[in-house]
Amino acid sequence: MGICDDRVVIVTGAGRGIGRGHALEFARAGAKVVVNDLGAEIDGTGGSPGPAGEVVDAIRAMGGEAVVNGDDVADWEGAQRLIRTALDAFGTLDVLVNNAGFLRDRMVVTTSEEEWDAVIRVHLKGHFAPTRFAAAYWREQQKSGVAVDGRVINTSSGAGLMGSVGQGAYSAAKAGIAGLTMVEAAELARYGVTANAIAPAARTRMTEAVFADTMAAPETAAAFDVMAPENIAPLVVWLGSSESARVTGRVFEVEGGVISMADGWSHGPREDKGARWEPAEIGPVVARLLADAPAPTPVYGT
C-alpha cells in the first residue's frame, strides 16, 4: 500500500529532472499520474514528446498508470486541456504539482523585454493557469456534495526567497509563486484544498549550468548524491497525500536529506509617532528600526 494509492496526480514539467522524480515517486506511492512536458530545451525553445513518453513508459513498466500531456501550462486553453486530461483518463483529480519552467538568465541591465516576459510567463502564469482550472473543478465537486481532498504543490526557489544575481526575472517569478501560494492556501481551504510550495536545490539542466561545482555528482558511487533530483520527490509525494491535510500555506526548502521550513515576510520592528512624520525625522527612525531588525539573508551570488 502506498500513501497515494489511487490518487490522481498531475506533474508539470515532468519529462526530466525534478519533475521526472516527482512523477516516478508518485507512481511508486500508488498514484495515477498525468505526465506533462513540452520537451523543450533549457531556454524554453523547441519541443518533443519524447521525455514525457519515456516517463510514462517507465511508470507503466513498474505496473503503474500514467498518461502523457503535452500542453503549454502557461496557455489558457492548454491549462484547461491539462486538467481535462486527468479527468478524461482517470475520472478525477486530487493533486496538482506545478513544476514546469526554464531559464533566460541575464543581469537586470541586459535583460530584454522578450526574456523577461518569457520567464514570468512560464513560471508565474504557468503556475496560476493550471491551478485556476483545477480549483474550479474542486469547487464544483465540493458544491455538489463530493468530499474533496485536493492538493496544490508549487515550485518556488531559493532565488525567489533570497534573490540571485543574474536571475532577476527568475527570482521575481519564483517570489511571485511563493506569494501566490499563500493566497491559494487561504482561498481554497473552503473547498478542501491545501496549497504549499517547495524551494528545492538539486541538479537539473538549469542548475548544473549555473552552479557546476556545487551540483557535481560525487566521485564515488557509494557516496550520497546530495544534489540528485530524486531527493526532492519524497516531500512532494507526502504533501500530495491525505496525511498532509493539516499543512497549508507553507514553503519548504529541501536539499539532499535536509528539509526545512522557510520563514517569509513578517511584520518587524515598528515606531509609531501618532502623527505625520516630517522627512527630516525619518533618518534616526530608520536607524533604530535597522538596529532592531535581523540582517537579511544575502542574495545568492553576492
| Phi, psi at 123, each rounded to 5° | -80, -55
| Phi, psi at 71, each rounded to 5° | -75, 155
292 located within any domain: no
CA gap 202, 208 in Å, rounded: 9
| Phi, psi at 261, each rounded to 5° | -110, 125
120 located within any domain: yes
Q: 10-24 pLDDT, tens per residue?
A: 999 999 999 999 999
Which three three-digit cell numbers place residue 214? 556545487
168 located within any domain: yes
Higher pLDDT, 220 or 263: 263
Q: 222-279 pLDDT, tens per residue?
A: 777 888 999 999 999 999 999 999 999 999 999 999 999 998 888 999 999 999 999 9
124 located within any domain: yes
**Angle between helix 126-143 and 168-188 (nearest 10):** 10
Q: 151-209 pLDDT, tens per residue?
A: 999 999 999 999 999 999 999 999 999 999 999 999 999 999 999 999 999 876 555 55
What is the reported pLDDT for 263? 87
Kindly report the pTM of this predicted structure: 0.91
Average pLDDT of the residues in 147-152:
98
What is the reported pLDDT for 80? 98
Average pLDDT of the residues in 281-289:
97
Tell me how crowded residue 211 is: count the other CB atoms within 10 A of its CB. 16
CA gap 228, 210 in Å, rounded: 16
266 located within any domain: no
297 located within any domain: no
Q: 85-103 pLDDT, tens per residue?
A: 999 999 999 999 999 998 8
Q: What is the dihedral of CA 161, 166, 172, 177, to 10 degrees?
A: -60
| Phi, psi at 97, each rounded to 5° | -105, 110
Domain assignment of residue 123, given as a range:
8-261
- Hey, which residues are catalytic here? 157, 170, 174
Q: Reduced to 3 DSSP states, what percent helix, strand and coil does the chain have, rounded to the nearest 5?
A: 45, 15, 40
Number of domain units in the chain: 1
296 located within any domain: no
172 located within any domain: yes
CATH label of the domain that carries residue 125: 3.40.50.720
